[in-house]
Chain A
């Protein structure tokens, strides 16, 4: 049973505009949520994380919002740049999971000029 879901397989956005990626989860025991970015033929690279006790975390152009009551998080990229074209994975872990991550299926982002 997939506990982390990314329901949008793809997203196309114009350069300079905002990209919003969504992620839903079912397990209320998750204590950290992470976003990873993946280019073709490379491994995922960590982008940003948020603790379950917070509702927002910002790092440069990237902001993650967490809505615990809705079991929903989103990643905002502002402004979007061509180098942001990649697959973005949402992931989550529980406190007692030895760092094991559960991943969503990913969202392919294409930033057009």
Chain B
């Protein structure tokens, strides 16, 4: 039972490069989320999706785009990476109250 799987686990980008973070869940959850964790700030919501084909902005959406073409997958894109996007990114999914998180992607933008 994999739960929520994120790819990749680590990545270093140069300023201006683009990349896509992949999230897959096998629990048939409707809701999926992307959070970022920064020191002293807890987790902050970037974007979320309440079902296949839907996306919405969270608390800190600027510089990111998302897509949910399939129910089990939620993709987070950085079109032009900036040093301020250096962070640990967590994907999560939920059906009711409890959210299940992936293991995280540590992204460094130099």
Chain A residues in contact with chain B, CB under 8 A? 4, 6, 9, 32, 34, 36, 41-46, 49, 89, 91, 93, 98-106
CA distance A64 to B66 in the complex (A): 35
CB within 8 Å for A89 and B104 given contacts A46-B98, A98-B50? no
Residues of B within 8 A of A (CB): 4, 31, 33, 35, 40-45, 48, 50, 56, 58, 90, 92, 94, 96-104
Chain B residue nearest to A90 in the complex (CB): B42
**Complex contact A49–B97 (CB within 8 A):** yes
Are A9 and B97 in contact (CB-based, < 8 A)?
Answer: no
Measured in the bound complex, the distance between the Cα atoms of B51 and A98 in whole Å is: 10
Main secondary structure of the interface of B (DSSP, over half): strand
Other than the given A45-B101, A103-B44, 14 more pairs (CB < 8 A) read: A9-B40, A43-B90, A43-B92, A43-B101, A43-B104, A44-B101, A91-B43, A99-B94, A99-B96, A99-B97, A100-B48, A101-B33, A102-B45, A103-B35
The 9 closest A-B pairs by CB, nearest first: A43-B101, A103-B42, A103-B43, A99-B94, A105-B42, A99-B31, A46-B98, A43-B103, A44-B101
B97 touches A93 (CB 8 A): yes
Bound together, the chains give a CA A36 to CA B92 distance in angstroms of 13
Q: Measured between C-beta atoms, what is the minimum distance from B41 to chain A in Å?
A: 6
CB distance from A4 to the nearest CB of B (A): 8
Compute how far the CA of A49 lies from the CA of B96 in the bound complex, rounded to whole angstroms.
Answer: 12
